[in-house]
């Protein structure tokens, strides 16, 4: 006789490393030659693209998320993953902050002078851009993704400031800010 309780089968433990982000991070490293020691990725979920970026290897990469199963999965796979809320988590000083969510204000305080933020939110009317300016960051580059063909634009930055740039299809534009 079968027990009437539902049998729970663990979901396959997955990680995600989008090739376009890995390419974008590599282009960023090549162009800006940042001094990196600690990379902080709050709200990372299962995205491990920083760890798959050759130019980031050898640096400490801290993944933080509020989903316990995600963090346990990343820890089992050997990543420095912490359970926490990015609004309150203290990673110490970081040289690169990866922000793919809008809760920027508190994590920005951990970025050292001449450190960087790579994010997918920007635009003159966006609160996010105001927060970056208030925290002494300057807009220094746009990593433009034309469905996998990524290029860096550091000269026409005003083109990206007039209005928010929303993702179209699978393309993801990333914006680079440096702390003054």
The whole-number pLDDT of residue 122 equals 60
What gap in Å lies between CA 30 and CA 119, rounded to an integer?
A: 18
The whole-number pLDDT of residue 8 equals 40
Q: What digits encode the pLDDT tens for the residues 108-117?
A: 899 999 999 9
Average pLDDT over residues 50-54: 96
The whole-number pLDDT of residue 82 equals 96
Q: What digits encode the pLDDT tens for the residues 66-121?
A: 999 999 999 999 999 999 988 889 999 999 999 887 566 688 899 999 999 998 87
The whole-number pLDDT of residue 103 equals 62
Does residue 61 register a pLDDT over 90?
yes
Average pLDDT over residues 15-31: 93
Most confident of 11-20, 32-41, 84-93: 32-41
Q: What is the 3-state secondary structure (H, E, C) of the chain?
A: CCCCCCCCCCCCCCCECCHHHHHHHHHHHHHHCCCCCEEEEECCCCECHHHHCHHHCCCEEEEEECCHHHHHHHHHCCCEEEECCCCCCCCCCEEEEEECCCCCHHHHCCEEEEEEEEECCCCCCCHHHHHHHHCCEEEEEEEEEECCEEEEECCCHHHHCCCCCCCCCCCCCEEEEEEC
The whole-number pLDDT of residue 141 equals 93
The whole-number pLDDT of residue 12 equals 53
Q: The whole model's pTM is what?
A: 0.84
Question: Which residue ranges form the domains of the chain, and what is each CATH number?
Answer: 19-179 (3.40.50.150)
What gap in Å lies between CA 25 and CA 144, rounded to an integer?
A: 12
Largest CA distance in the chain: 71
Q: What digits encode the pLDDT tens for the residues 126-147?
A: 666 777 778 889 999 999 887 7
CB 68 within 8 A of CB 76: no
The whole-number pLDDT of residue 92 equals 94
């Amino acid at each position: 006789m079968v027990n009437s309780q539902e049998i729970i089968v663990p979901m396959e433990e997955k990680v995600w490393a989008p090739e376009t982000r890995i390419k974008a991070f590599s282009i960023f490293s090549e162009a800006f030659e940042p001094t990196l020691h600690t990379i902080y990725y709050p709200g990372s979920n299962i995205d491990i693209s920083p760890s798959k970026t050759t130019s980031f290897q050898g640096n400490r990469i801290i993944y933080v998320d509020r989903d316990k199963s995600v963090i346990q999965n990343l820890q089992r796979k050997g990543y420095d993953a912490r359970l926490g809320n990015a609004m309150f988590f203290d990673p110490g000083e970081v040289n690169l902050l990866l922000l793919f969510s809008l809760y920027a204000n508190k994590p920005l305080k951990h970025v050292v002078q001449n450190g960087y933020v790579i994010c997918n939110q920007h635009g003159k009317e966006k609160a996010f851009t105001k927060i970056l300016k208030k925290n002494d960051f300057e807009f220094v580059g746009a990593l433009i993704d034309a469905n996998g063909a990524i290029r860096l634009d550091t000269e026409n930055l005003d083109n990206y400031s007039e209005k928010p740039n929303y993702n179209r299809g699978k393309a993801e534009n990333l914006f680079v800010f440096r702390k003054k």
